[in-house]
Chains A and B, each alone.
Chain A
Amino acid sequence: MSAKILEKQQLSENVYKMVLEGAKIAQKRKAGQFVVLRIHEEGERIPLTIADADPVKGTVTIIFQVVGKSTGHLADLNVGDVLLDLVGPLGKPTHIEKVGVVACIGGGVGIAPVYPITQALKNAGNHIVSIIGARNRDLIIMEDEMKAVSDEFIVATDDGSYGYKGFVSQALEDKYLLPGKKIDMVVAIGPVPMMRAVTDTTRKYNVPTVVSLNSIMVDATGMCGACRVSVGGKTQFVCVDGPEFDGHQVNFKELIDRQRIYLNEEKECYDHYCSCRLGKGGI
């Protein structure tokens, strides 16, 4: 199904929010699920988490960071433009139950996918400790939204330009785990090195930790195996078995390697796009 872009907003230097038409997906989606979209006939299929949805209006919200050709192209589109394909909701929904105190950790653009999960965990009666972080103040997104669904709230920046100075994993350890404050579960979403750092930290304290993996995907229906990761020594398909897994079981080294398979091609593709874009008189 094609989908029209209904709203567009720039959240930070490289992060955009878009509201898309998608009635069916909006009705069905649950926290933790994602969509796959394809911009045009020559485009690739890219997965993006459903950051929010409005079943009444029939809309789906995505928040994405420009990291290459497809996300760059997406950011160049405007309200009224139509994406050729939008499919979802894909992946298993987050398992939502009342466990007590849950730390919801989002790093960079990972704040976007952690938001709907935080919201659902809050609605299930959990006490929410949110820790969101980025390299600097300008890159912090969705602060108000996250605050609204949290009982306790921390912002961390690597350079200390805002809030706690340091990584989100350090904030978690410093403020909660080390002082022995009760945390029953952690949900951490962000760049792979961040999720790895959080799981390394929580492992020391035996706190169950859920991470959401962003492996490279093609079909995202379990048909190709592109997205496979090793969890507890077993191969799992992120698109159908995940995207969430027990962070203490994930082979992060393999995931990082696999995310780099197309590094050269991705650069070639983005350069190709940028030069075409310049050729057309820029944007």
Chain B
Amino acid sequence: MEMKDRLKIPRQPMPEQDPKVRARNFDEVPLGYTPETAKTEALRCITCKNPSCVDGCPVQVDIPGFISRVMEGDFIGAARHIKQTNALPAVCGRVCPQEVQCEERCVRGKKAEPVAIGRLERFVADFERATGDVAIPEAPPSTGKKVAIVGSGPSGLTVAGDLVQLGHDVTIFEALHKPGGVLVYGIPEFRLPKAIVAAEVDYLQKLGVKISTSFVVGKTSTVDELFEEGYDAVYLGTGAGLPTFMNIPGENLNGVYSANEYLTRSNLMKAYKFPEYDTPIVKGRNVAVVGGGNVAMDSVRTAMRLGADHVYLIYRRSRAEMPARIEEIHHAEEEGIELHLLTNPTRYIGNDKGWVVGVECLKMELGEPDESGRRRPVPMKGSEFVIDVDTVVVAIGAGANPLVQSTTPGLNTNKWNYIVADEETGQTSREGVFAGGDIVTGAATVILAMGAGRKAAQAMHRYLMSKK
């Protein structure tokens, strides 16, 4: 096809489940490209010599390199090409905020729409998985070095994959009973099917990574005990899994959840399949979710799927400041979520049995910009009003779980109790101890956690090989 014709191809949409139908089921919302649409979309890429999209990618995936393979119909080749820099393309293709990363920088976006890089990434990864043609590289010679990885989120999984392929003996220790971190306990099935995470974990195990679930470092063994047991280096990828509450009256009423609890019950414990699965969840009729990020979006959409009549999203700033991905806000609105923007809860009202029956809110207006550069919301006097609810999900952010920090002497942390680690190497204040992902940066993204893991793996490899 001539270049001028290629430039006329419109960005290929990805089919999705109808909003009315999907709002009541937990199946994945986007249905994915067909090989034909993938090839068509790939033809929109002009294979730039100095591709700006790659600069927008936190791990510098060779985007034109994989897209040109898609053009040729070499989907498996494309998937393997991505995997050289990004071990989890099926995950990233689904959850990365491409609109502020690679796709934002794509030159095609200047005059027309950017190439749908994320959708293509997702397509090739799914294609590879579906064909079962997943290559297992030959095991490298053993270095005889043992590495312990704490936490099986995207950053721990990345470190494990990289180090095992360098010949180290790698064990992941995970507190929960299933590996995957936020990918299994936080992000819902309708956005990231758990079978995909399981396949990635399975692949790592085939590479030789050992996974010890139900093992809480700091409790079952401390970091120092891992060293005593013969591990030569430790990577801490424990995430930002501490729920934050607002400390307003009524937060301990029945029916008030942290987003972590709500999503963990639904995703990890499969409460949406109760009573087939034993773990219950409150299936509210009128649900309020407080917050404006991806976690809040996942919570409102989960509430809808659990059968709510009304789901309200309460956010103290305006739409422009919402940290959630635009696509997710859009999806949530299509599914019937009602937004209460510039609104802030002040207290929860309970009945005599201790159940939440209402949330009292204040209207806000935007004032001067704050430290984050976003305009600070200020309450409007006398604007209190009450929304009747039977369930509330508080999704206002997460902090650092102190379990490892408090049991590892000499490990430096910052004032929020995140672990201090070198940005380039992940090196902490303790010899042989490296860290990365959300436990260093605070709640961020999957790809940043993976990027930190990749850099740390390189540094850990150097450390292990220089150690006698």
A residues near B (Cβ < 8 Å) are 1, 24-25, 28, 38, 42-45, 69-70, 84-90, 218-219, 221-226, 228-230, 235, 240, 253-254, 257-258, 260-262, 265-266, 268-269, 272
In contact, A70 and B260 (Cβ under 8 angstroms): no
What 6 pairs between A and B have smallest CB-CB spacing?
A257-B354, A265-B280, A87-B214, A224-B261, A44-B278, A225-B258
Residues of A within 8 A of B282 (CB): 261-262
Given contacts A1-B212, A218-B269, A228-B252, contact A269 B275 (CB under 8 A): yes
Residues of B within 8 A of A229 (CB): 252
Is B221 in contact with chain A by the CB < 8 A criterion?
yes
In contact, B277 and A262 (Cβ under 8 angstroms): no
Residues of B within 8 A of A221 (CB): 175-176, 216, 219, 241, 401, 403
User: Which residue of A has the minimal Cβ distance to B261?
Assistant: A224
Alpha-carbon separation in the docked complex, A229 to B251 (Å): 11
Given contacts A88-B220, A89-B219, A90-B219, contact A257 B353 (CB under 8 A): yes
- What are the interface flags for B169-205 relative to A under an 8 Å C-beta threshold, 1 for contact and 0 otherwise? 0000001110000000100000000000000000000
Residues of B within 8 A of A226 (CB): 261
In contact, A224 and B269 (Cβ under 8 angstroms): no
Interface of A is mostly: mixed
Residues of B within 8 A of A45 (CB): 177, 269, 279
- What are the interface flags for B234-268 relative to A under an 8 Å C-beta threshold, 1 for contact and 0 otherwise? 00000001110101000111110110110011000
Is B385 in contact with chain A by the CB < 8 A criterion?
no
Alpha-carbon separation in the docked complex, A262 to B279 (Å): 10
Given contacts A70-B278, A225-B258, A254-B354, contact A28 B220 (CB under 8 A): yes
Given contacts A219-B175, A235-B252, contact A225 B216 (CB under 8 A): no
Given contacts A222-B403, A235-B252, contact A44 B243 (CB under 8 A): no
Q: Would you list which residues of chain B between 198 and 232 have a CB under 8 Å from chain A?
A: 212-216, 219-221
In contact, B278 and A261 (Cβ under 8 angstroms): no
Is B270 in contact with chain A by the CB < 8 A criterion?
yes
Residues of A within 8 A of B327 (CB): none
Residues of A within 8 A of B355 (CB): 257
In contact, B252 and A230 (Cβ under 8 angstroms): yes
User: Which residue of B has the minimal Cβ distance to A253?
Assistant: B354
Residues of B within 8 A of A70 (CB): 278
Residues of B within 8 A of A253 (CB): 354
Task: List 14 A–B pairs whose Cβ atoms lie within 8 Å, in order of A's numbering.
Answer: A42-B278, A87-B175, A90-B216, A218-B261, A221-B403, A222-B242, A224-B264, A225-B258, A226-B261, A235-B245, A260-B254, A260-B353, A268-B275, A269-B278
